[in-house]
Amino acid sequence: MKKLFILITAILFTAYNSYAGYNQIGQWSKEDATKLYRTTNNSWLKSKIESIAKFLGATAFYLGKYNGSYLVATNRHVCYRYSVCYRYPLRFKYLDRDIKIEDYIYSSSEIDFAIISLKINNKNKQFIQKLKTLKQSFDWKSNFEVGEELFTLGHGYYNNPDGNLKYEYAGQCQIASSDIKKITDPDKGNPSQVKVWSAAIGCDSSSNDSGSPVYSLRTKKLLGILWTARTPSLEALHDERIFYQMIEEDSSLIWDSLTYFVPAKSIREVIIKDIESGTFIRDEAKAILEDFLDYQFKK
């Protein structure tokens, strides 16, 4: 109890950092993805970097070809309907391509998730072959563990005014709780009132990291999609010891003070629930989602 009291006191009486747009755990740990891309021999890391697109300033990532459509994922709050987003191409820097939207497949505010398809020229055989190597799916079981180290990629703008791709690898970028909870947005500057299924992590993040993929370094699988973080950042958490004590105590502050992603398990459950409960989705979109989820919807 004494430890928990000290932790709560440190959090509640800390001063907010004057820069409101980021969440930091320990030392700021985002690094330049271009430098990593040029120097690493790790084909898994290179492929994950290549799959990232800059979209409306934020982040999206390539999923693969499903039922004939080339899919990318991002947050619903980044692109919430086709009429708002279709004019804006996705910039795949590491593939040297700007690619336009073909269709808007699905979105849900409950998981802050959107799937869109891309206009791809099927005559470009070399590029099609490259896309095949980047196909990925979520880890639908999402059996992550406390302390599991993570890898994230995004265009967050803190210390990054040009919006270049940054990454974070391990360290405090780890699972903070094995629970999945439905929470409201802890962003104090631009909050959403919609509750979203979430898991808590210690990764650094800032605006435009929305839509970032979250990978497990243990399994090399895609665990989910980053959607928000507590901002302004709490300066107490810039001392990593507070973060680890929070985890040790399983403090309720885990659900108000960190960065949050939507787990794959929740994405799958909500999509299936929406479709089988009668939410209107076009037949062609249903067929794409069946392939994506490897699931046969009830007729």
Is 298 inside a domain boundary?
no
Cα separation, 93 vs 103, whole angstroms: 21
Is 225 inside a domain boundary?
yes
Are residues 72 and 119 located together in one domain of the fold? yes
Please check whether residue 207 is in contact with residue 21, taking contact to mean a CB–CB distance below 8 angstroms.
yes
Are residues 35 and 67 located together in one domain of the fold? no
39: left (phi over 0), alpha (psi -120 to 50) or beta: alpha
Cα separation, 182 vs 297, whole angstroms: 25
pTM: 0.92
Are residues 92 and 164 located together in one domain of the fold? no
CATH of the domain at 200: 2.40.10
- Name the stretches of the chain with pLDDT < 50: 1-2, 4-6, 8-19
The domain tally of the chain equals 2
Is 71 inside a domain boundary?
yes
Is 299 inside a domain boundary?
no
119-177 residue pLDDT tens: 999 889 999 999 999 999 999 987 899 999 999 999 999 999 999 999 999 899 999 99
Are residues 88 and 157 located together in one domain of the fold? no
Contacts of 87 by beta carbon, 8 Å cutoff, 6+ apart: none
Domain span at residue 177 reads 2-40+140-264
